[in-house]
Chains A and B, each alone.
Chain A
């Protein structure tokens, strides 16, 4: 099948990663009281962003090697 699932996975998690890290940078620190004072949006958002970019890279590499 000519539809690489890694592409939508990469897109959505890159998008979520950008959203969460961005929100982590601008949000009021007070909201992190419940997460034990840790800016988890920034930290975990970065992890998600790395995963998203990694998936995108795999999908794009496969596409370049195997052009339709």
Chain B
């Protein structure tokens, strides 16, 4: 393999990177004296204003793998990838803010698994807490591995050293300042990403000659791959049949699988993001958190997907000498953002863009670590291993869990380095666990009859159904194994891995829904109406009217968000 192009950083770029690291650690240091008890450390003492939790809610989800991966997908699939933002996130975020947050925040649960214990029972909580803790700590390892790998490729930095430095920085600022420190740094990271990547997208679009010229070039890209002219620049018109678009999906699978099951399963139940909202200083702020996050979220495709679309157009005729390193005989699309940083940004802004990339990696890791230490300490340690200790004890455990969590991530990252396939397998397992979740929460929050047995078995069997569905189906042209079909019999062949993924989710969700309902009807209800007050829609009084201006009302914000999303979809239909 030829040596990869290295990005050349100038002294000013290192100065910017250094200043950023100093501020990150400084924020942790400044927050140290506020960490008086476990509630400060794990839930910021429920004291943070909505705009801060909102931006952190967005950032915690926006790891660098996403930035890098979204640009890669923009090149491979064109503007259709925006559905991962528009129908794949916005409706779920609005639903969370308007309908679900009152129960999460109002129940005073300290974590999502704890909500499940209050609403259902101990075993449902244990299942969710254990699977969640396992997934977050390994996700953080994946993030760490991806960063060290990228730095090695780009700058020929030493793998061990870049991993050690970033792990130690994240460790220090979380041990010092807990969740608040993670949240504050996520907001800083949000602005770094905007300031670092917006000029990149703007310069690239200018270079390619604007949106009109880009569309014309993408017609050629589509023709090369035997698709209709607008396939790369129109998001809805080519979803009639899986054969019409490079994703290999049709509108129903996309809308149900991505837009409903996967999206609501993630945004409405994942403690990693919901923890940010739970740290808000009021019910109104908690409900506004995902709504505030939705505004930048719906515009992000222009910053992270557009560069990929431009890259595929530029690469076609090597416009301006633009080129990407090859991998297995194809362009390495994951290098779009890093290569474009070096291609368009001069010393100075390059430092800012590069720092934004590092910031995204580190906050992706920090988000996982803070969610892990909370679930470990409250839902596993305090619940099963050592109940009834002093608050100081749990605060110390939270710090210890942070250190252990980071250590496990580092070990995992080293393991991934020699076993890269295991990461794909893990992502698959995460998808299986995530798929049925929303059915459990939907029934739990909106049907008071739902029992703990119903929820637990629905969740467990729903996950199992996802596994079985994957084992019985396979995408076209894939070989039996990790791609599917490993149960020996193939009952259905999907046009693409993405279609298989969406339908796995649909099957798991539907199965979980039906099984939960059936078992609920067969088991006695254990929780009284009084016990369920604040946890279930029909038994919870409407949240009191807060002293909010019209533009702060969740209903108004949610309505605006949805309206703008519809307009965006119409413009780029």
- Is the A/B pair a real complex? yes
Interface on A for B, CB 8 Å cutoff? 1-3, 5, 8-9, 11-13, 15-16, 19-20, 23-24, 27, 31-32, 34-36, 38, 40-41, 44-45, 47-48, 51
User: Which chain B residue lies CB-closest to A43?
Assistant: B199
Cα separation A23 to B349 with both chains bound (whole Å): 10
Q: In terms of DSSP, what is the predominant structure of the interface of chain B?
A: helix
Interface positions of B from 29 to 67, Cβ below 8 Å from A? 30-31, 34, 44-45, 47-48, 52
- Cβ contact within 8 Å between A41 and B348: yes
Cα separation A31 to B27 with both chains bound (whole Å): 34
Q: Does B76 contact A (CB under 8 A)?
A: no
> A15: which B residues are within 8 A, CB to CB?
19
Q: In terms of DSSP, what is the predominant structure of the interface of chain A?
A: helix
> A16: which B residues are within 8 A, CB to CB?
16, 19, 195, 352
Given contacts A1-B34, A8-B188, A40-B199, A27 and B19 within 8 Å (CB-CB): no
Q: Does B136 contact A (CB under 8 A)?
A: no
> A48: which B residues are within 8 A, CB to CB?
195
- Cβ contact within 8 Å between A8 and B195: no
Given contacts A13-B191, A44-B195, A45-B348, 20 further A-B contacts (CB under 8 A): A1-B34, A1-B45, A1-B47, A2-B34, A5-B187, A8-B26, A8-B30, A16-B19, A19-B12, A20-B352, A27-B346, A31-B347, A34-B343, A35-B344, A35-B349, A36-B344, A45-B349, A47-B195, A51-B191, A51-B195
User: Which chain A residue lies CB-closest to B199?
Assistant: A44
User: Which chain A residue lies CB-closest to B355?
Assistant: A16
- Cβ contact within 8 Å between A3 and B30: yes
Q: CB < 8 Å: which of A1, A40, A41, A45 contacts B180? A: A1
A-B contact pairs, 18 of them (CB 8 A): A1-B34, A1-B48, A2-B34, A3-B30, A3-B31, A8-B26, A12-B20, A16-B16, A23-B347, A24-B348, A31-B346, A31-B347, A34-B343, A34-B346, A40-B345, A45-B348, A48-B195, A51-B195
Interface on B for A, CB 8 Å cutoff? 12, 15-16, 19-20, 23, 26-27, 30-31, 34, 44-45, 47-48, 52, 180, 184, 187-188, 191, 195, 199, 203, 206-207, 343-349, 352
- Cβ contact within 8 Å between A36 and B348: no
Question: From residue A36, how far is it (CB to closest CB) to chain B in Å?
Answer: 6
Cα separation A13 to B48 with both chains bound (whole Å): 22
> B346: which A residues are within 8 A, CB to CB?
27, 31-32, 34-35, 40-41
Cα separation A24 to B348 with both chains bound (whole Å): 8
- Cβ contact within 8 Å between B344 and A34: yes
- Cβ contact within 8 Å between A36 and B207: yes
Given contacts A1-B180, A19-B16, A34-B343, A8 and B23 within 8 Å (CB-CB): yes
Question: From residue B475, how far is it (CB to closest CB) to chain A in Å?
Answer: 40
> A45: which B residues are within 8 A, CB to CB?
348-349
- Cβ contact within 8 Å between B34 and A35: no
> B27: which A residues are within 8 A, CB to CB?
8
Question: From residue A50, how far is it (CB to closest CB) to chain B in Å?
Answer: 12
> A35: which B residues are within 8 A, CB to CB?
203, 344-346, 349
> A5: which B residues are within 8 A, CB to CB?
52, 184, 187
Cα separation A35 to B347 with both chains bound (whole Å): 10
Lowest 7 A-B CB distances belong to which pairs? A41-B348, A31-B346, A1-B47, A23-B348, A12-B23, A44-B199, A5-B184
- Cβ contact within 8 Å between B349 and A36: no
Cα separation A27 to B350 with both chains bound (whole Å): 14
Cα separation A13 to B34 with both chains bound (whole Å): 25
Cα separation A20 to B16 with both chains bound (whole Å): 9
Cα separation A17 to B407 with both chains bound (whole Å): 36
Q: CB < 8 Å: which of B34, B191, B203, B207 contacts A40? A: B203
- Cβ contact within 8 Å between A34 and B47: no
B16, B23, B26, B349 pick with most chain A CB within 10 angstroms: B349
> B199: which A residues are within 8 A, CB to CB?
40, 44
Given contacts A8-B27, A41-B346, A19 and B15 within 8 Å (CB-CB): yes
> A41: which B residues are within 8 A, CB to CB?
346, 348-349
> B52: which A residues are within 8 A, CB to CB?
5
Given contacts A16-B19, A19-B16, A48-B195, A9 and B188 within 8 Å (CB-CB): yes
> A24: which B residues are within 8 A, CB to CB?
348
Question: From residue B146, how far is it (CB to closest CB) to chain A in Å?
Answer: 25
> A47: which B residues are within 8 A, CB to CB?
195
Cα separation A41 to B346 with both chains bound (whole Å): 8
Question: From residue A3, how far is it (CB to closest CB) to chain B in Å?
Answer: 6
Cα separation A45 to B346 with both chains bound (whole Å): 12
Cα separation A19 to B355 with both chains bound (whole Å): 15
- Cβ contact within 8 Å between B349 and A1: no
- Cβ contact within 8 Å between A13 and B195: yes
Cα separation A58 to B180 with both chains bound (whole Å): 20
> B191: which A residues are within 8 A, CB to CB?
9, 13, 51
Cα separation A9 to B188 with both chains bound (whole Å): 7
Cα separation A44 to B346 with both chains bound (whole Å): 12
Question: From residue A60, how far is it (CB to closest CB) to chain B in Å?
Answer: 17
A27, A31, A41, A48 pick with most chain B CB within 10 angstroms: A41
User: Which chain B residue lies CB-closest to A33?
Assistant: B346
Cα separation A27 to B13 with both chains bound (whole Å): 13
> B47: which A residues are within 8 A, CB to CB?
1
Question: From residue B42, how far is it (CB to closest CB) to chain A in Å?
Answer: 14
Question: From residue B509, how far is it (CB to closest CB) to chain A in Å?
Answer: 38
> B16: which A residues are within 8 A, CB to CB?
16, 19
Given contacts A1-B44, A8-B188, A20 and B203 within 8 Å (CB-CB): no
> A44: which B residues are within 8 A, CB to CB?
195, 199, 349
> A2: which B residues are within 8 A, CB to CB?
34
User: Which chain B residue lies CB-closest to A29?
Assistant: B346
Question: From residue B113, how far is it (CB to closest CB) to chain A in Å?
Answer: 26
